[in-house]
A and B are shown apart, each in its own frame.
Chain A
Amino acid sequence: METDSMNSTTIPERMNIDRTRWSYLDCVLKKGGPFTDPEAVFGDGVISRIESAKILVIGAGGLGCEILKNLALSGFKDIHVIDMDTIDVSNLNRQFLFRESDVGKSKAECAAAFVERRVKGVKITPYNCKIQDKDESFYSQFSLVVSGLDSIEARRWINAMLVDMVDAEDPESLKPIIDGGTEGFKGQARVILPTISACYECQLDMHVPRQAVPLCTLATIPRQPQHCIEWAHIIAWEEHRKGTVLDTDDPEHVTWLYQKALTRAEEFNIIGVTYSLTQGVVKNIIPAIASTNAIIAASCSNEALKIMTGCNPFMDNYMQYSGDSGIYTYTFNFAKKDDCPVCGNLARDMQVNPKLTLEDFIASLSERAESQLKKPSIRKAGKSLYMQFPASLEEQTRPNLMKKMSELVEDGEEIAVADAALSIPFRYIIRYS
C-alpha cells in the first residue's frame, strides 16, 4: 500500500503515473460533450478530483465486488468499504474478488486487498463491521456513498443517517447516495440526494413484500413442495422444538426441517422437497445472477463518476431493470414524499426551558401555530415520555408529566411528537436555553 496517498488532499505524483490505462476514460474527462454540465471543468482538475475524492462503498458482496472493481478502474483512488460479512463458499461463483482460500475471512478485507493488488495506486480501506457501528463523524468524511446492500433494514438506516446529516449551512454535509439492489434477474439503481430528492424511505411502500402463502393453506391443503417446507419451518418447528431458536445456518436444524417437510410431502403426494430447496425456502434465497449484479453495479459506478465530475447529467433518479423475459429498463423521477417520516420532516431545533415540566412542555406544543396538536404523544429513542394512547401506556407514562424536561431529555437529544392531526411525527432536537 502506498503511504503517500494517506492524505486525501494531496495527489501522489499523478503526473508521473502512466495514464494509458485510463486513456478511454480521459476522452470524457479531458473534453466536454453535448450533455456536459456547462459548469464542469475538464482536464487535470477533474482527474485530480476523482483521485482525491473519498468514497464509501457499503457492502462487499455480489454488487460490492463489482462496484469496487468499477470504481477502482474509473480512477477513484481513495475508496473505503464496509461489510460485516465473511466469505461463504456459495459466494465464489459471482463474488470474483474472493478465492476458495478466503472462505471464512472478512469480505471487506479480502475485497480491498484484491483490488489493491490488481489496480496499482488505489487505496482501499476496509471496515469489517456493521454500518450501525459507525457514527455521523465516520460518514461525514466521505463525498459520496455507493451501496450494494441486501437488506431493507440496513438501507433504511444509512438513508436516515445521511438525511439527518444534512446541514443547510454546509454544502459538504450533503452526501449523495447511489443505491443498487438486485434480486434474481431484476434490479434497480437510484440516486438519492438527501433532503433534495426522494429518499429511500419515500420509496419504501413501493416494495412488494415477499409473496406469502396463507397459513391455513400450509396447515391444511399444501399443494407445492415449498408449502411443506414452510409448514415445517413455521408450524412443525414451534410444535416440536419450542424454545430452540431456529438457526437457518445450522445444518442439523435444516436437516430436521427437510425431513419433516419430506414426510409431509409424502403424506400429500407432493414431490420435489429436497435439502437445497429447504435451505432456499427457509433462508429466503433468491438465486443471485452475476450478470444482473454486473449491470446494476455498472450503473451505480457510472453515476458515481458523473456526479463527481459533471461530465454528463446524472440519473434522475430511479432506474429499474428487468432481465427475466427479454431486457427492459425504465428510468423515472421518483417524487419526494411530503409526508416521508425521514426526509419530509427534518428534526428541527427547539429551545426549551429545562425547568419546564413535561406537562407544561406538551401544553406549549399545542399552542405552537405550526402544530395544532390535539393529543400529542412524545417519545425519544428507546424511551416513551408520554403516550396519550393506548390507555395502559398513558397510565404507565403519566408519572413523567410531573418531571422536569431536563430529567427526561438531554440537551441535543431528539424527540418525536406524534398526533392524530399529523400525518407523520414531528421531530425536534431539544436545546436548553
Chain B
Amino acid sequence: MLKIWSMKQQQQQATKAEGGTKKKKVTAAQLRAQKDLSELALSSTMRTEFADPDDILNFILWIEPDEGMYKHGKFGFTFNINENFPHDPPKVKCRHKIYHPNIDLEGNVCLNILREDWKPILNLSSVIFGLQFLFLEPNASDPLNKEAAEDLRTNREAFKRNVKNSMVGGYVKSEKFDNVIP
C-alpha cells in the first residue's frame, strides 16, 4: 500500500484534489450531456424545449424542415437520456402519429445510430442531425411503416400527396394522422 502512495507522489500532480466531505457531485452522464448541449449548434429549423431547465437529460426537440416533402410541418421528438449515457444511446420517440417510412405509428424511429450503430463517441448533435435527415431523405429501404415505405418505393408522387394529406391531420388509406402544421 505504501508503494502506491509513493507512485502518487512521483506523479507530482500540479493540481490538488480537496478532501473532506463533499456535497452531491455531478454524475459522469450529466457531465457528458452538459458538454454535448453546450456544443450544440442548432440551425434555425430546430429548437429544443426543456420542461425543467434543471433536468437536461429529458427534453423535446422540435424540427421544422425548410425543404423536402415534410416542409411546413413541425415535428416533436422526446429525448430521454439515462445515467448510462453515453454508453447507452438517448431514447428518442416521435411525439406525433406521422406518415413516414422510418417512423412507426407509435413514434418509434428507425435511425441506425439510435440503436445498432450507437457508439459512445457519437453525441447528441449526431442524433439530432440524423433525425433532421430523415425528413429530408425518407428512406424506403429501412421501413418501420411498411405501407409508407411501399408507397415511397412504388409511387413517389403518390407518397408526396400522402405526406401532405397526413400532415394536415388527414387520412392515408384508413389511418388518420396527427396535424403537424403549426
Interface presence of B42 (CB below 8 A): yes
Query: Which A residues lie within 8 Å of B87 (CB)?
Result: 152, 204, 207, 209
Please report the total number of B residues contacting A with Cβ < 8 Å: 67
Known: A211-B116, A238-B106, A390-B48. A427 touches B4 (CB 8 A): no
Best-surrounded residue of A156, A216, A239, A389 (most CB of chain B within 10 A): A216
Query: Could you tell me if A219 and B88 are in contact, using CB atoms closer than 8 angstroms?
Result: no
Binary flags per residue of A413-426, CB closer than 8 Å to B gives 1, else 0: 11110111010110
Secondary structure at chain B's binding surface: helix, strand, loop or mixed? loop
Q: How far is the CB of A313 from chain B (nearest CB, A)?
A: 9
Q: How far is the CA of A383 from the CA of B56 in the complex (A)?
A: 9
Interface presence of A404 (CB below 8 A): no
Query: Could you tell me if A383 and B38 are in contact, using CB atoms closer than 8 angstroms?
Result: no
Query: Could you tell me if A235 and B106 are in contact, using CB atoms closer than 8 angstroms?
Result: yes
Query: Could you tell me if A390 and B53 are in contact, using CB atoms closer than 8 angstroms?
Result: no
Best-surrounded residue of B11, B18, B29, B109 (most CB of chain A within 10 A): B18
Instruction: Report which of A195, A219, A389 forms a contact with B144, defined as CB distance below 8 A.
Output: A219
Q: How far is the CA of A420 from the CA of B142 in the complex (A)?
A: 35
Query: Which B residues lie within 8 Å of A219 (CB)?
Result: 104, 108, 110, 143-144, 146
Interface presence of A276 (CB below 8 A): no
Query: Could you tell me if B5 and A171 are in contact, using CB atoms closer than 8 angstroms?
Result: yes
Instruction: Report which of A209, A235, A413 forms a contact with B118, defined as CB distance below 8 A.
Output: A209
Known: A174-B5, A239-B106, A416-B31. A215 touches B25 (CB 8 A): no
Query: Could you tell me if B37 and A220 are in contact, using CB atoms closer than 8 angstroms?
Result: no
Interface presence of B3 (CB below 8 A): yes
Interface band, chain A: 35 or more
Q: Give residues of chain A (368-383) contacting chain B, Cβ–Cβ below 8 Å.
A: 375-377, 379-383
Known: A235-B106, A384-B54. A170 touches B19 (CB 8 A): yes
Q: Give residues of chain B (80-105) contacting chain A, Cβ–Cβ below 8 Å.
A: 83-84, 86-89, 102, 104-105
Known: A209-B88, A213-B116, A347-B18. A387 touches B25 (CB 8 A): no
Interface presence of A205 (CB below 8 A): yes
B-contacting residues of A (Cβ < 8 Å)? 37, 39, 135-137, 143, 152-153, 156-157, 160, 164-171, 173-174, 176, 193, 195-196, 201, 204-205, 207, 209, 211-216, 219-220, 234-235, 238-239, 242, 307-308, 310, 341-342, 346-349, 375-377, 379-384, 387-393, 396-397, 410, 412-416, 418-420, 422, 424-425, 427, 429
Q: Which 3 A-B pairs have the closest CB atoms?
A: A167-B19, A396-B53, A377-B38
Given contacts A136-B21, A341-B32, A393-B56, 12 further A-B contacts (CB under 8 A): A174-B5, A193-B8, A216-B142, A235-B106, A242-B106, A347-B18, A348-B17, A379-B30, A387-B53, A390-B40, A418-B38, A419-B38
